[in-house]
Structure 1
Amino acid sequence: MQDTVCISSLILLSLPTTYRRKTCIDNTLIDLNSAIKFSQEEFELLHSIQKSPKIVKMTVKALCRRDATLLTAVADLKYILRKLNNQKTSLFKSLAEALRKRILERPQPMTAILQYLHNPEEYFKENAKTR
Structure 2
Amino acid sequence: MTAENCLRILNERLSKFDISLETDIVAIVTDGPNVMIKVGRLVCAEQQLCLAHGINLAVCDVLYKKHNYLQDSPTSDDMDDNNDDDHLEDLDCSESGLILMSQNDLAREHIPELTQDENIKELIEKVRKVVIYFKRSPLKNETVLQKYVKIEHGKELSLLLDCKTRWNSLLTMLERFYLLKSCIQKALIDLNHPICLEDVEFELVNKIVDVLTPIKLTVEAICRRDANLCTADAALNFLIKQLSSKNSALAKKIKTCLVDRIKQRRSDNLTGVLNYLQNPRKDEENQLLSELEWHNLFPVPTGFTEKANKEYC
Question: What TM-score do the two structures reach when normalised by structure 2?
Answer: 0.33
Partner of 1:80: 239
> In angstroms, what is the RMSD of aligned CA positions?
3.4
CA distance in structure 1 between the aligned counterparts of 2:276 and 2:169, rounded to whole angstroms? 43
- In 1, the alpha carbon distance for the partners of 2:194 and 2:208 equals 28
Deviation, 1:49, is 0.9
Instruction: Tell me whether 86-95 or 102-111 shows the greater mean CA deviation.
Output: 102-111
What is the match of residue 7 of structure 1? 163
Distance apart, 1:64 and its partner CA:
1.1
Q: Which residue of 1 aligns with 2:274?
A: 114
C-alpha offsets along residues 46-73 of structure 1, whole Å, 9 cap, x if unaligned?
1111223321221111111111111111
The structure that has the greater radius of gyration is: 2
Percent sequence identity over matched residues? 30
Match for residue 225 of structure 2? 66
Between structures 1 and 2, the one with greater helix share: 1
Asked if 2 retains the 8 angstrom alpha-carbon contact of 1:22 and 1:43, the reply is no
Task: Tell me, in whole angstroms, the C-alpha distance in 2 between the residues paired with 1:71 and 1:14.
Answer: 32
Change in Cα spacing, 1:73 to 1:24, as seen in structure 2 (3 Å) is same
Give the letter aligned to residue 24 of structure 1. Answer: Q
Instruction: Tell me, in whole angstroms, the C-alpha distance in 1 between the residues paired with 2:230 and 2:172.
Output: 33
> Helix, strand or coil: the match of 1:67?
coil
The more displaced of 5-14 and 96-105 is 5-14
Shift of 1:84: 1.3
> CA 1:55–1:119 in 2, change beyond 3 Å: closer, same or farther?
same
Q: Secondary structure at the match of 1:115?
A: helix
| 1:22 shift after superposition | 9.5
Q: 1:51, 1:33 → 2: CA distance?
A: 28
Q: How far 1:17 sits from its partner (Å)? A: 5.0
In the comparison of the two structures, how many residue pairs are matched?
124
Structure 1: give runs of 5+ residues left out of the alignment.
Answer: none
Distance 1:128 1:81, change over 3 A: closer
- 2:211 touches 2:250 (CA, 8 Å); kept in 1? no
Q: For 1:81-107, what per-residue CA distance to the aligned partner results, in whole angstroms no more than 9, with x for missing partners?
A: 111111111101111111111112233
Distance in 2 (CA, whole Å) between partners of 1:117 and 1:84 is 28
- Which stretches of structure 1, 4 residues or more, deviate above 6 A after TM superposition? 2-5, 31-34
